A and B are shown apart, each in its own frame.
Chain A
């Protein structure tokens, strides 16, 4: 058996020291009727080589995204990850450590997380970030719950152009409470319906949640939204792609109260959608309602700089049923990965990644506009993805697949009103030639 170090002789010695004759005696507290009479109906253990062969064979039945000319985004983005990121994250003293409860032997973890929090604050303009949540979807749910604790109100207005799986997650998280969610469909131009918000927003609304760039790729006017929300003392929650903040105004400056989202674009692998990390950041006055762990900078008893987990009286292990959330483990390693990525790439590098993603997407947009049979419903006020329409979109997407191209995400699946629409994304990795190939193929497919 792998991974057990004790020899039979040592086990015998230990049993003797314990004062029993056999290991079975140690299980005498179990009622006999629940003890298994036979061994589990499982295969026997395999050698490392055989396991490697079996699992590798499974992996080879998946086709990595890079083998396609892909324009998939929709919440999970194929950016380049500098080689150094995974080298740092593979270091045992990050990979195999636990939550840094014991500050003195966890200073490196604590400092790295403090740096992650600082980076999130620099990007978002906010005062305080936590040490991470699970993903963008649960971060939205936690953010909305936070606003309802702060406002002590029961109604939530959300934009229907939040990522569909985030909305579903939010609804699941809120289902244990008596909160009401009202969903606003966008105007025909794809943007949040500000007029409707102005006309219908009442004092019992505690939260207005939206996404920008929204799920259709469009960049919302967060400032106007926040202004309207403030009139009824509702808090605003903005879901965003942190990479877009390299070129877009920081949400704090637009008056947003809580910003959250998925940190995967900051140096995270695709991982079939997980693990990534959720980020959440807010203003000072909301700190005590934050969910999850937070690292603070302090001193040791000699007065030297030191870090530790702090403000823990919000958390489940202290507050139990009165905690701000039940979250315990988060996604620390991915958070440290985001800090390493941002440090490697720097402000100029991050701007370049964002700008090249933007430029590639604008180029695809320009080229698609020229194709007969393609309709583009919205203005090009987007960051790295946009919507285009074509007759028989699902069929067209299949035809693309046959040419080893993934045209994007089929919107009709989650938005019936956009039944022939495709959401296409370009990252900085996209080559001009690949974009040209996609447009050329589309023209070919449409000609039949």
Chain B
């Protein structure tokens, strides 16, 4: 049932009883607003509450999620989202406060932000954080705009940003939004930044390098300190895309690797739920040299009381109204308190053990083009399966039939037929063994029953979706047919 969308359902009697009118005079908009600025009709459906609840509950049931399925989506760190985080975020004292209340009525919120900042400074070695960005990408924008302004004030001509060919797509897109030209640097045969090539392209006009470490192949950039020197020697800065921080918690700090500015995806490393693609939060940390460039406001403390400080000399300004995705911070803070220092370390360890276990168990079945010890994720190449007729896409779709959300596909771009698997630390050996068994099974199916794999998924509410048609003749909203 319920293939129909919300606009095609049977209508109920119109209702307006969630809030009763309060007895003020019933003035009409047309008394004070010119008629030509008013609307004639509002064509939304009127439905009954049960019908609406059933509709969306049913839609929920059509999805895979972390709570229901193994979700090894590489680079997205789909770890378990603890439920205590949710309870805390929904407390009235957090979810029902207004951003413009007087500061003495929001001291708890300010203290939480302040305390969370202190904890993250210790975890990362950075000097200060802003919590304004709503996502990793917006964090990148904040960080790179700070770098831009830093160079402007130093009156240095900077035109380029260096980005490895394995980088997330947000990195070059952000560099463009900051007016920089992107210089892509090829990885070496081991999957790491090619130092010789780096040396060749770095000159005085390099503003920064944007790096993920471990990189998107799941490999640690072993020569990070050399990279740091090469960039710093030319007056450039190091930007850390913290999407992959999870395996390094308590092991090292971005500051020790030489990064000047970093973002953390709180919805990845710090366990806040992804919510179908947001809201997340991109906390941005800076070392001392960029402290004066942070977005306003930051939270400071004076005589035991907390306040929003707007007096940042060279601030890049705001990236968002108000103070960021605050209730996401509440979740991440709760998580950090719950884990503590030992928990962070165990998180890192188990993330790395889980990924390497999968790699070891599957490497004879699926090629691992960069075979070094990996960190939090492993990238397989399905080229030999492709030769037999099944692409990475087919394997991904077949995994759905086994109740597993597909890994990230065709990324990083430097691996052909890539499947990028990030199990995270919260999965058990049992779950990993099941995944391993299924992957082997699919490999066998490719030999014995190729069509079954190519036709997959078989068990979902819809069969393989025609994305080409979707793009060729876009249907982006519901319209009453025949009108």
The answer to whether B321 has its CB under 8 Å from any CB of chain A is: yes
> Are B93 and A34 neighbours in the complex by a CB distance under 8 Å?
no
Interfacial chain A residues near B425, Cβ < 8 Å: 3-4
Q: Which of A180-188, A200-208, A298-306, A368-376 contacts B (4 or more CB under 8 A)?
A: A298-306
Any chain B CB within 8 A of the CB of A152?
Answer: no
User: Chain B contacts of A63 at CB under 8 A?
Assistant: 93, 97, 101, 105-106
Determine whether the beta carbon of B57 is less than 8 Å from that of A299: no
Near B by CB (< 8 A), chain A positions 169-184 give 169, 171-173, 175-178
The A-contacting residues of B in range 189-244, CB under 8 angstroms, are 219-220, 222, 224-225
A148 to nearest B CB, angstroms?
A: 12
Distance to closest chain B CB from A17 (angstroms): 6
In the assembly, what is the distance between CA of A441 and CA of B253, in Å? 55
On whether A274 and B325 interact (CB within 8 A), knowing A18-B357, A176-B178, A350-B44, the answer reads yes
| C-alpha spacing A430/B24, complex, angstroms | 10
Does B135 count as interface, using CB distance less than 8 angstroms? yes
Which one of A4, A70, A107, A305 lies within 8 Å of B62 (CB-CB)?
Answer: A107
Are A326 and B98 in contact, with the CB atoms below 8 A? no
- Is the CB–CB distance between B119 and A95 below 8 Å? no
- Our pick among A34, A95, A248, A302 for the contact of B275 (Cβ within 8 Å) is A95
Within 8 A of A (CB), among B71-118: 71, 73, 76, 78-82, 84, 86-88, 90-102, 105-109, 111-112
Say if the beta carbon of B176 comes within 8 Å of chain A. yes
Query: B99 touches which one: A33, A273, A298 (CB < 8 A)?
Result: A273
A40 vs B226: C-alpha distance when bound (angstroms): 25
Task: Indicate if A26 sits at the interface (CB-CB under 8 A).
Answer: yes
Q: Are A129 and B466 in contact (CB under 8 A)?
A: no
Q: Most chain-B Cβ atoms within 10 A of its Cβ — which of A173, A340, A347?
A: A347
A241 at the interface (CB under 8 A from B): no
B170 contacts the other chain (CB 8 A): yes
A118-B33 contact, Cβ under 8 Å, with A51-B337, A104-B465: no
Contacts of B273 in A (CB 8 A): 95-96, 333
B444 in the interface (beta carbon within 8 A): no
A300 touches B463 (CB 8 A): yes
Expressed in whole angstroms, the Cα–Cα distance for A333 and B6 within the complex equals: 17
B436-471 with Cβ < 8 A to chain A: 457, 460-467, 469-471
CB proximity of B239 to chain A, nearest CB, Å: 13
* Contact partner, B63, options A26, A74, A97, A123, Cβ 8 Å: A97
Q: Which residues of B contact A173 (CB under 8 A)?
A: 141, 177, 319
- Decide: A29 and B373 in contact? CB cutoff 8 A: yes
CA distance A245 to B138 in the complex (A): 29
Q: Is A80 an interface residue (CB 8 A)?
A: yes
Q: What B residues does A358 contact at CB under 8 A?
A: 27, 29
Q: Is the CB of B318 within 8 A of A137?
A: yes
Cβ A5 vs Cβ B95 within 8 A: no
Contact status A298-B466, CB under 8 Å: yes
- Closest approach, in angstroms, between the C-beta of B102 and any C-beta of chain A? 6
Complex CA distance for A66 and B105, rounded to whole angstroms: 12
Q: What is the bound-complex CA distance between A105 and B64, given in angstroms?
A: 6
A80, A99, A117: which has the most chain B beta carbons within 10 Å? A99
Which residue, of A131, A246, A297, has the highest number of chain B Cβ atoms within 10 A?
A297
Interface string of A76-111 (1 = CB under 8 A from B): 101010101011101111111111111111111101
User: What residues of chain B lie closer than 8 Å to A1, measured between beta carbons?
Assistant: 339, 342-343, 346-347
Bound Cα distance from A237 to B52, whole angstroms: 33
Return chain A residues, CB-CB under 8 Å to B92.
59, 64, 66
Partner of B320, one of A15, A138, A428: A138
CB–CB B349/A55 < 8 A: no
B98 and A249: CB pair below 8 A?
no
The answer for the CA separation of A136 and B322 in the assembled complex, in Å, is: 11
Contact indicator B82/A299 (Cβ below 8 Å): no
The answer to whether A299 and B466 have CB atoms under 8 Å apart is: yes
Q: How many residues of B contact A (CB 8 A)?
A: 196
Q: Interface with B: A153-161, A228-236, A315-323, which one? A: A315-323
B429 pairs with A14, CB closer than 8 A: yes
Among candidates B135, B321, B356, residue contacting A165 with C-beta atoms closer than 8 Å: B321
Nearest CB on A from B220, distance (A): 4
B482 interfacial by beta-carbon distance below 8 Å: no
- Residue numbers in A under 8 Å from B24 (CB-CB): 359-360, 362-363, 432, 435
Is the beta-carbon distance between B400 and A105 smaller than 8 angstroms?
A: yes
Q: Does A445 contact B (CB under 8 A)?
A: no
Q: A302–B227 Cα gap in the complex (Å)?
A: 52
Residues of chain A within 8 A of B157, CB atoms compared = none
Contact status B99-A76, CB under 8 Å: yes
- The reply to whether A327 and B137 contact each other, CB–CB distance below 8 Å, is yes
**B38 and A102 contacting across the interface, CB-CB below 8 Å:** no
Query: Complex: how many Å from CA A269 to CA B349?
Result: 37
CA A108 to CA B360, docked complex, whole Å: 35
B330 cross-chain contacts in A, Cβ below 8 A: 55
Q: A59-B108, A169-B320 are in contact. Are A328 and B178 (CB under 8 A)?
A: no
CB distance B100 to A274 under 8 Å?
no
A356-B21 in contact given A59-B108, A138-B134 (Cβ < 8 Å): yes
Inter-chain CA distance A94–B64, complex, in Å, is: 9
- Which residues on A sit within 8 Å (CB–CB) of B22? 356, 360, 430-433
Contact B477 A4 (CB under 8 A): no
Are A97 and B321 within 8 A (Cβ)? no
B80 contacts A3, CB within 8 Å?
yes
Q: Which residue of A lies closest to B361 (CB)?
A: A17
A417 at the interface (CB under 8 A from B): no
Nearest-Cβ distance from residue A82 to partner chain B, whole angstroms? 5
Q: Which of B11-19, B283-291, B382-390 contacts A (4 or more CB under 8 A)?
A: B11-19
User: Given contacts A97-B66, A165-B318, are A429 and B25 in contact (CB under 8 A)?
Assistant: no
From B80, B361, B429, name the one whose CB has the most chain A CB atoms within 10 angstroms.
B429
A169 and B32 form a contact (CB under 8 A): no
Q: Are A51 and B462 in contact, with the CB atoms below 8 A?
A: no
- Tell yes or no: A339 within 8 A of B by CB: yes
> Contact between A135 and B347 (Cβ–Cβ < 8 Å)?
no
User: Quick check: is A223 within 8 A (CB to CB) of the other chain?
Assistant: yes
Q: For residue A315, which residue of chain B has the nearest CB?
A: B169
Nearest chain A CB to B314 CB, angstrom units: 12
**Which residues from 296 to 336 on chain B have a C-beta closer than 8 Å to any C-beta of chain A?**
316-328, 330, 333-334
In the complex, whether A258 has a CB less than 8 A from a CB of chain B is no
**Which chain A residues border B19 with CB–CB below 8 Å?**
80, 352-353, 356, 428-429
Question: Which single member of B38, B47, B69, B333 contacts A346 (CB below 8 Å)?
Answer: B47
Contact digits for A360-391, partner B, Cβ 8 Å, 1 yes 0 no? 10110010000000000001111000000000
Q: B49 contacts A84, CB within 8 Å?
A: yes
- In angstroms, Cα B259 to Cα A419, docked, is 44
Q: Are A4 and B350 in contact (CB under 8 A)?
A: yes
Distance in angstroms between the alpha carbons of A50 and B140 in the assembled complex: 35
- In the complex, are the beta carbons of A247 and B29 less than 8 A apart? yes
> Contact: B135 with A134, CB < 8 Å?
yes
With beta carbons under 8 angstroms apart, the residue of B15, B137, B353 that contacts A26 is: B353
Residue of A nearest to B87 (CB): A52
A355 to B66, CA, bound (A): 41
Q: Is the beta-carbon distance between B337 and A55 smaller than 8 angstroms?
A: yes
Chain B's closest residue to A78 (CB) is B98
15 chain-A/chain-B pairs, Cβ below 8 angstroms: A3-B343, A61-B107, A61-B108, A102-B396, A104-B460, A105-B62, A108-B63, A135-B320, A171-B317, A247-B29, A249-B39, A321-B172, A326-B177, A353-B18, A382-B32
In the A-B complex, the 5 residue pairs with the smallest Cβ-Cβ separation, listed nearest first, are: A273-B322, A59-B93, A61-B108, A45-B340, A333-B275
- List 8 other contacts, CB 8 Å, given A2-B82, A358-B27: A1-B347, A96-B65, A104-B464, A134-B134, A135-B320, A219-B33, A275-B328, A352-B16
